[in-house]
Homo-oligomer: A and B are copies of this chain.
Amino acid sequence: MGLDAVHRYAMIPPGKLLRPLLVLHAALTVGGELGAVLPAAVGIEGAHVGSLLHDDIIDRDTQRRGRAAVHTEFGPAQAVVAGNALFFSWFATLSECRRLGVPADRVERAMAVQAEAGVAICRGAFDELAMRGDLELGVGAYVAMARAKTAVLLAAACRVGAILGGGDAPTTELLGDFGDHLGICFQIRDDVLPYDPIAARAMGKPSDSDVRNRRPTLPVLIAHRRADPESRAALRHALLDETEPELALCRIRAVLERTGALDTAHAMADDHARRARELLTRLPATAHVAHVRALALLTRPAH
């Protein structure tokens, strides 16, 4: 079983392909050519999947996209190495863009964005490990965590697409900020999912991952701040001490409902979605902008 087979397993069937779509739409928005940017779009999906391979090892998640996780299927050492290969391939795809005619200075700037994003994501992942079990975490620290976990890569997708497509600095920054708000919105929705019984069933990955990893996600943090001492103790006990994840989820859900934390979390996500859409209105109204706007609609709550 070779490395290519592992990559094929990890990447096909694909997920939503949100990051490649953002690369391509950003490039088209600034008047770039789709063909020459395509490798970078493939590359960022690889980097995303690579990070999932490592996350699943770290979180001991054995399911991903409705199938066995890569480390479960092929072994943890194999999954670490396969993830690394995808990180390096992300940069190799930029030289393919160069061969397809993208000027060297654009490739160099896209590389800088990718490298900076990669380091920021690692920094966030590292800090997140220390924040596990911390229910006193402020909303600011949560947003920083959500940014590193999701928004940094979405913003990088937009920036890389805009840079490779030949966009000017203000438009590149605007699209990057769009990706940032989109990413925070997505991460909040994702953090709410395990506590929404109907949505959780359709996830294709274990909904007890956050609880098993004692992850202080936004709804839990909001509920903890609002709850009376009794509910607060129940929440703390469920997240930190309860060894049966299903029971822990059930008890946390009860406190979230009592405190209205899910609605508040969704309202915060809505706010980031609104700001993402607002940014797009500042762009010239072309068909490509319409596509990017359509993506922003994905950030509406599923229910």
Q: Which residues of A contact B (CB under 8 A)?
A: 1-3, 6, 54, 57-58, 75, 77-78, 80-85, 87-92, 94-95, 98, 104-105, 107-108, 111-112, 114-119, 122-123, 125-127, 129-130
A92-B112, A111-B95 known; A123 vs B87 contact (CB < 8 Å): no
Q: Which residues of B contact A2 (CB under 8 A)?
A: 126-127
A3 near B88 with CB under 8 A, answer no
In chain B, what residue has the closest Cβ to A99? B112
B81 near A122 with CB under 8 A, answer yes
Q: How far is the CB of A6 from chain B (nearest CB, A)?
A: 8
The CA-CA distance from A54 to B57 in the complex, in Å, is 13
Query: Chain A interface secondary structure, helix, strand, loop or mixed?
Result: helix
A126 near B91 with CB under 8 A, answer no
In chain B, what residue has the closest Cβ to A90? B115
B54 near A80 with CB under 8 A, answer yes
23 A/B residue pairs, CB under 8 Å, sorted by A: A2-B126, A3-B122, A3-B126, A58-B77, A75-B129, A77-B129, A78-B126, A78-B129, A81-B122, A81-B126, A85-B122, A85-B123, A88-B119, A88-B122, A91-B91, A92-B116, A94-B108, A94-B115, A95-B111, A104-B105, A104-B108, A107-B108, A108-B111
In chain B, what residue has the closest Cβ to A84? B122
The CA-CA distance from A289 to B90 in the complex, in Å, is 34
The CA-CA distance from A81 to B89 in the complex, in Å, is 18
A111 near B85 with CB under 8 A, answer no
The CA-CA distance from A88 to B123 in the complex, in Å, is 11
Of A1, A77, A115, A119, most B-chain CB atoms within 10 Å: A115
